[in-house]
Structures are given as structure tokens and as C-alpha cells.
Amino acid sequence: MEEPKEGENKSKVLVVGGTGYIGKRIVKASLKQGHPTYVLRRPEIGLDIDKLQMLMSFKKKGARLIDGSFSDHQSLVRAVKQVDVVICTISGVHFRSHNILLQLKLVDAIKEAGNVKRFLPSEFGMDPAQMGHALEPGRVTFDEKMTVRNAIHEAGIPFTYVSANCFGGYFVGNLSQMGSLTPPLDDKVSLYGDGNAKAIFLDEDDIATYTIKTIDDPRTLNKTLYLRPPKNILSQKELVGKWEKLIGKELIKTSISEEDFLASMKGMDFAGQVGVGHFYHIFYEGCLTNFEVELEASSLYPEVEYTRVVDYLIRYM
């Protein structure tokens, strides 16, 4: 019997938002794991040469580009009809671009096409189903993600939700300090309260690897997969301690009370207020680790050698 060719028995994947922060990693992971990989090329990129060149680089690596636009319903229907799985990674953070509800148009197209066996909407952060109590104005992120989820359920579309917690690029290198992406140059660090609330930190390439692992896995069908690699469940104080050990000196620490932290919202722009709300839930409330989960990625896929926080930190030395 002839052996199956690479990708022959693997789902065809369409990535929407493939030039974004997580999207580009999803494309690479899909190709690496042998899936026939398609990327939506939207006319909205206009003269953004960086995005165009990224798309062309994907094509060179074997991805196929499909033209489609959120303003052209039939183009989306034609796109999704060519694949088995749709993964959407359009941005949901306010300091970049915030387009979560655009996915409702994608849901309509998937429903009309009728062939998609799995849809992974743009989630990848905190589980919105756990955030019904979230503070204004940051709760808009979770409310909009739940609106998309409700549309998926009403349309009867098979799904997987991926809850990836804290992206390393935004939470590890800066020791979880707001307003910076790199370690403090003045050897001073602010702790949220006592700094002991447990958070979960992920390497972005690992997020993509785990995400692609789910798409042909019956265990994750119509489920939420939580990314909780045990070595990366740390408090902010523990995160700072790992950095101190690497650089061989102790940082000067100050504590920000819950009241002072929330008061800092005053005078901030909308994106800043959203960020403060999210940081509050993570680092004062411990919202990432204060509930039990059914499906955890590092347990389901022990073959994935995930990046430890300390190895992520070494990149900043």
C-alpha cells in the first residue's frame, strides 16, 4: 500500500489574521505540523508592505493565499469552502487594533459554507466565560468574545477555544510592568500587592504549536483548551526572583496597593484603562488560576517541549 503523502490526512487550515502577532506563528506552526495551510489575504492591507512581504514569505514556505474581505461576504464563503478548519487571530487588544466583533461576519460565512469541521475564534487570552464580573471598561474584551461564542453556538459550528493566558512578550521580559516590554534599567520593580497571585506565562510559539495540535484532536472538539504548563505557573514575585537570579543582583521592590492601582486609571486613555482592568484581575485577583480546568494542553500533548519562563528571560540578557 502506498504511504500517505505529507498533509494528505491532515485538515486543511485557513488562518484569518495571519500577519498578526499570534497569527504569523499559527501559520508557521500549521506548516511545520504538515497541514495544507491557507492564509486570507485581505485588500484592507493596502500599502502595508510589511504585511504583504510576510504573506509572500508564507507562500514561499508552502502556504496558499486566498483573497477575501470582511466587507465581501461571498469572498469569505468561497475562502472557507476550501478548508476544513478556520483559525481566526485578529487582534483583540485596544492598544493595537480591536476587531473582535468582525468575527461575526466570519461566523456567518462559515455557517453558509457548511463544510467547516472546526472553528477556533480569536481568544488566546483569559477565558471570557470566567470573566463575567470583570471591571469596566476592560470587560468589553470579554463581552465581545462571548458575543462571538454565542453566535458560534447558535450557528451550530464545531469549535475549540484556546485560553493561553499571558503572552511572554507582554508579561515576561518586562517582569509584568505596565508601559514597558523590557526589564527595568534602573533596577526598580513594582509589585502588584504582595506579588503572590499566581499567573501563567506562555511562549507565543508554544501557543501556536498547541493550537494546531487541537484541530484534529477529537478530545478538544467543542471544548476549551487551557494552556497551563506547570513550570510556567508563577507569581510576579517568583518571576522577578528568576530574573534576579539570572542577573546576579536584587532589584529594589515597591508594592502598589489594590486601591492605588485602580485609582491609576483616572486620566488614562481608554486603552490604558482596559489594560489596568486586565492587570488587576490577573495580579490582584489571580483570575488565571482560581478555577479548575478540564483540558490542559501540556497534559494532552506531553511531547511538546514548552519554553520555560527562565529560558524566555534569558533572551533579554
Contact 13, 82 (CB under 8 A): no
Candidate from 90-99, 121-130, 243-252, 290-299 with smallest mean pLDDT: 90-99
Residue 146 has pLDDT above 90, yes or no: yes
Reply yes or no: is the peptide bond before residue 218 cis, omega within 30 of 0.
no
pLDDT recorded at residue 93: 63
Q: At 45, is the pLDDT very low, low, confident or very high (cuts 50, 70, 90)? A: confident
Q: What is the mean pLDDT of the chain?
A: 94
Of 239, 240, 264, 236, the closest CA to residue 251 belongs to: 240
Distance CA 35, CA 140 (A): 34
pLDDT recorded at residue 97: 61
Q: 270-280 and 139-155 helices cross at what angle (nearest 10)?
A: 80
Distance CA 216, CA 214 (A): 6
Distance CA 145, CA 139 (A): 10
pLDDT recorded at residue 284: 98
Contacts of 302 (CB under 8 A, 6+ apart): none
pLDDT recorded at residue 4: 35
Residue 1 has pLDDT above 70, yes or no: no
pLDDT recorded at residue 94: 52
The whole-number average pLDDT for the span 99-108 is 95
pLDDT recorded at residue 117: 98
**Beta strand pairing call for 64-67 and 223-226:** unpaired
The HSE-up count of residue 23 (CA atoms within 13 Å, CB side) is 24
pLDDT recorded at residue 5: 44
Residues taking part in catalysis = 145
pLDDT recorded at residue 73: 98
pLDDT recorded at residue 44: 85
How many CB atoms within 10 Å of residue 166? Answer: 23
How many CB atoms within 10 Å of residue 267? Answer: 8
Contact 196, 235 (CB under 8 A): yes
Of 275, 282, 280, the closest CA to residue 235 belongs to: 282
Of 172, 236, 243, 241, the closest CA to residue 198 belongs to: 236
